[in-house]
Chain A
Amino acid sequence: MKLSGFQDSPQLSYPPFSEAWRFSQLESFFQQDLSPAKAEFTSASHVEISGAQTQINSLPQGVSLSEIKVAGSDFWSTLKRSGVKYKITITEAMTQPLKISITRPSTQSHEATLAFIEIHVLAGIKASILQDYSGSELGHTHSETLIELAEGSTLEHSLSFKEGAQSINTHTITTKVAKRARYEQTILSSDSQKTRLDLLTELMGEESFAKLRSLSLLKLKSNVDVHSQIIHHSPDTAADQLAKNLLDGESKAIFTGRIKIVRDAQRVHSAQLNRNILKSKKAHAIGQPQLEIFADDVKCSHGSTTGRIGENELFYLLSRGISQNRAQELLSHAFIQEVFTENSPESKTFFKQFLEQQ
């Protein structure tokens, strides 16, 4: 099945041909054949997804999993049916995190893989999900993750993307956070020819909170384009976002982040910071933080910084006898670790494995 019908589909969940996509031209993506993904679901221990080969190992307590049924014969339904599509409901306190591994089958051709995951966390439940995407050098993955957090629930959501240096990928993560619920997202991504991440976080109910952390570690001629939108629909909501990029080689990172506060959503606290470190002369970062505020009693901050490793930090380490190279390494490590400082031990271990392979 060819993906070219994709472009004309009215159900397409985003329009890839608008201003917001100017840094991500994806024509080649639509010329591809479709191949099934491989998925695996298990407890931190994990779920592995691989199309026909989906493996459901022993799930952690409190997790129910079902395949999403797609009706209809239009292009989009047909397309969606060919992908991995699962609904996960967290119904009671989890004994350990659920791990979802989505793997693009190993192939030399430019094939595409689709994955649709819905996550529902029921009221008052505390959940943790580790979700990783991996694939061979070539190919494309498109994924959509829809999350709904019911009143008073908490989700620690750790995501890693390691999809091959020549791959082209598009991922959307859409989260709705109800009253007094808490969403903690951490994203780690590595080299790919192109990765586009669309993050939409909607704070629906009072006293809901979102903490978003992301880090791209790029060394090659890679390109990551992160579009984040945080919408405060209710008063007394809070969000805290830190988007970091550590860029070497000829890599390029784009961060477009918007905080939107609707009318009457008073007493909102929202902070957004984009930090980029350029380790080579050819690395490139673009930061575009944006605010759209329609309420008058809010506290917001946003900013973007781009630079080399700080001279003062470097001198501090040198003045203690640490050599230039080692000091650079330590400061890069510090830049990376800041993203994970508040994560649970399980989440830290999940990312540590990823970082060790870098």
Chain B
Amino acid sequence: MLDIQNLTAQVEGTNILHGINFHVKPGEVHAIMGPNGSGKSTLSKVIAGHPSYEVTGGSIDFEVNRKKIDLLSLEADERAKEGIFLGFQYPVEIPGVSNLDFLREAFNEVCAYQGLDKMEEAQFMDLVRQKLKLLEMDEAFLHRDVNAGFSGGEKKKNEILQMALLGPRLALLDETDSGLDIDALRIVAKGVNALRSKYNAIVLVTHYQRLLDLIVPDYVHVLYKGKIIKSGDKSLALELEKKGYDWLIQEQH
């Protein structure tokens, strides 16, 4: 589904990614871990197409319905329409736009691109309510402005609500667990697990095992100085939780 070859990228003239090779198949859950500043957030933003990050080499291919797409040739909105979703580490506040309008706008654009008929308002509301229920969110959320004045936990739930509604093929969740209390973490994990299927894939960027107890990954990768230095199964995360990153970093030298 996702095939990243030798990817290098920079932001404002500083090289952050130094040759990433990363492959994801449908149905898989990958966790990306690593010390602060290793390039985890950069990788997810580059895949989603943030304009501030410049790709200087390598390729990202994305395959949906047996159609292979060169992701780097697409704008961020086109990537989203093809089924890529980025859950933000710091969701952006947009005072003046209601959450419901925002959700409807995004949903309709993605549907139109994928050749689906526009959904009737009542049917759309049913779908939204169903997703709200999954995330144990109050309907009042819909009538508040996008993320404006939301608590940290509410913002992250709102990310998962958007994801649940858009039903992406590939979800990149950038530190979705940061700033969550235990209950909110459980609810967010429930939302993510509901998306899991043999057709979809999930990439979790996280620092903590506690998220991986709830969303169990198939693979765990350690990113350090813009390169994947170790890949393993879920036991790698447990080992990191016990031993930290030092032993891996020393292996590098």
Contacts and interface: CB of A to CB of B under 8 A. Distances in A.
Contacts of A312: 92
Contact of A324 (B77, B79, B88, B91): B77
B94 A326 contact: no
B109 A316 contact: no
B5 to A, nearest CB: 23
Interface string B106-140: 10011001000000000000000000000000000
Contacts of B77: 317-324, 327
A319 B51 contact: no
Contacts of B80: 318-321
A322 B106 CA distance: 6
Nearest to A325: B77
Contact of B51 (A311, A326, A334): A311
Interface string B66-102: 0000000001110111000110100110111100001
Contacts of B110: 320-321
A331 interface: yes
Contact of A319 (B48, B97, B102, B105): B48
Given A321-B80, A321-B109, A337 B92 contact: no
Interface centre among A313, A330, A334, A335 (most CB of B within 10 A): A334
Contact of A322 (B86, B91, B105, B145): B105
A336 interface: yes
Contacts of A330: 94, 97, 102, 105
Contacts of B39: none
A277 B85 CA distance: 29
Interface string A319-355: 1111110110011011111100100000000000000
B194 to A, nearest CB: 19
Contacts of B200: none
Contacts of B237: none
A338 B76 contact: no
Given A315-B50, A321-B109, A321-B113, A341 B96 contact: yes
Given A315-B51, A318-B49, A322-B77, A333 B96 contact: yes
A319 B82 CA distance: 11
B81 A321 contact: yes
Contacts of A327: 77
Interface centre among B49, B76, B145 (most CB of A within 10 A): B76
Interface string A285-327: 0000000000000000000000000011101111111111011
A311 B162 CA distance: 20
Contacts of B65: none
Interface centre among A319, A324, A327 (most CB of B within 10 A): A319
A319 B77 CA distance: 5
A232 to B, nearest CB: 27
Interface string A11-39: 00000000000000000000000000000
A299 to B, nearest CB: 21
A312 B110 CA distance: 20
Nearest to B82: A321
B176 to A, nearest CB: 14
A274 to B, nearest CB: 17
A205 to B, nearest CB: 32
Contacts of B91: 316
B83 to A, nearest CB: 9
A214 to B, nearest CB: 16
Contact of B94 (A323, A324, A331): A331
A311 B11 CA distance: 14
A317 B51 CA distance: 13
Contacts of A335: 96
B104 to A, nearest CB: 11
A341 B76 contact: no
A327 B51 CA distance: 15
B157 to A, nearest CB: 16
Nearest to A330: B97
B106 A338 contact: no
A59 B126 CA distance: 45
Nearest to A331: B94
A322 B109 contact: yes
B1 interface: no
Given A315-B50, A315-B76, A326-B105, A320 B92 contact: no
Contacts of B113: 321
Contacts of B204: none
Interface of A: 311-313, 315-324, 326-327, 330-331, 333-338, 341
16 contacts: A316-B88, A316-B92, A316-B94, A318-B49, A319-B48, A319-B50, A319-B76, A320-B162, A321-B166, A323-B77, A323-B109, A324-B75, A324-B77, A331-B97, A334-B97, A337-B96
Given A330-B102, A341-B96, 7 more contacts: A311-B52, A319-B49, A320-B166, A322-B105, A322-B109, A324-B77, A336-B96
Top-8 shortest CB links A-B: A334-B96, A337-B96, A321-B80, A318-B76, A320-B106, A316-B92, A321-B110, A318-B77
